A and B are shown apart, each in its own frame.
Chain A
Amino acid sequence: MSTGNENKICAKKADAKDWLAEAAHLSVYYEYYGALLPEKQRLIFEDYIANDMSLSEISKEYGLSRQGVYDAVRRCGAKLYEYEEKLRLAERFHGLEEQAERIMREASGIAADAKERETAETAEAAEKLAALARELWECLQ
């Protein structure tokens, strides 16, 4: 079944400039949604994207045709794009991660400032805030 996303995926390592950028996206999406893919396709996609195997190497490994592997890779890629389009988890988590980092930096700055001015209470509060932001950031990893 066509999802309309398949055209977006070049899935050709030979077209490397686009492929490298695309592989980076897909590998992030795979981290979020890979578990939703059927087991067999997941393995194939992982070999292709994370282990940098070629279509023919994968086809030998699983006893499939090269075309079959190519189709599986495209289907997985299309699915991953579709999930991200609908759920935007990667985008949202990335945004949260950046914000958590900013809070950590700001709060650490305030804590350092307050220490210099010897306002211990503010320093302590800012340190607590920095620690909370750090916990949030760690949750997102």
Chain B
Amino acid sequence: MAVKIRLRRMGQKHAPFYRVIVADERSPRDGRFIDEIGTYDPTKEPMAFSVDEEAAKKWLANGAQPTETVARLFKQAGIQK
């Protein structure tokens, strides 16, 4: 079963805040996840994205698929081409 790296929204009403999580492809709704590897805060200027680079690379090498959004964030952070 495919493993995905995606964002999950946390935070308060006015302050969207996301966690970067590694989860089974089929479990985004029920909240289960395998690993949490970073955070993303779009309310900061410039936006704040922090991720455990080693963990991210490990998951990518093991075939975890980032979502489109996460892939773009990784690209901006220089983790992925």
Contacts and interface: CB of A to CB of B under 8 A. Distances in A.
Contacts of A31: 13
A94 to B, nearest CB: 5
B69 A24 contact: no
Interface string B1-27: 000001111001110101000000100
Contact of B9 (A14, A27, A90): A27
27 contacts: A14-B68, A16-B72, A19-B69, A19-B72, A20-B42, A20-B72, A23-B16, A23-B69, A24-B16, A24-B43, A27-B9, A27-B16, A28-B16, A47-B28, A47-B29, A50-B9, A51-B8, A51-B28, A51-B29, A52-B18, A52-B69, A54-B67, A90-B14, A93-B14, A94-B14, A97-B14, A141-B13
A13 B13 contact: no
Given A14-B68, A20-B47, A52 B14 contact: no
Given A16-B72, A27-B16, A52-B69, A57 B42 contact: no
A20 B25 contact: no
A139 to B, nearest CB: 12
Interface residues of B, number: 21
Contacts of A16: 68-69, 72-73
A47 B47 CA distance: 22
A24 B7 CA distance: 12
A80 to B, nearest CB: 13
A57 B69 CA distance: 14
B38 to A, nearest CB: 13
B70 interface: yes
Nearest to A14: B68
A54 B4 CA distance: 11
Which of A27, A49, A90 has most B Cβ within 10 Å? A27
